[in-house]
Every structure is written in structure tokens, then in C-alpha cells.
Amino acid sequence: MRSRNFASYLSVEEVAQRFRVNSTTIYRLAQRGILPGFKVGSQWRFSPTILDSWVAQQMKPTH
């Protein structure tokens, strides 16, 4: 089985910096299931690839 590089996952603080919002906003969105992420113990982690897909999905017209 191939091991993944867990260093490539982003923390709440890194996602907040990337989106230029407060880390509280990232916690709130993740807890509500709006922002895709997962918990390792008590800490949230986010995949940069999945976040990029999520952003692209958010930008689609909703007409």
C-alpha cells in the first residue's frame, strides 16, 4: 500500500491565509460541512486539490 504525504494537507490557519479570511470562518465552514475537510484527532486538515475543486464549483453560475 502506498503511503500519502500528509505534509501536503493544509491546516485551518493555512487555509485561512490562502482565502484571506479569519481562521474562525474556516472552522465554521468546515464544521457545517460547507468546506471539505477532515479531522485528525481534534485538528482539521484540508486537501489543496479538493479545495481547488470546491472553489471552481463555487464559481459556477447558479442560473
Q: Which domain holds residue 28?
A: 8-58
User: Cα–Cα distance between 57 and 37 in angstroms, integer?
Assistant: 15
Q: Per the structure block, which three cell numbers stand in for 61?
A: 453560475
Instruction: Give pLDDT tens digits for 10-25.
Output: 999 999 999 999 999 9
In this structure, what CATH number is given to the domain that contains residue 16? 1.10.1660.10
Closest CA to 41 of 2, 6, 14, 1: 6
Domain membership flag for residue 27:
yes
pTM of the predicted model over 0.85: no
Instruction: Give pLDDT tens digits for 33-43.
Output: 999 999 999 99
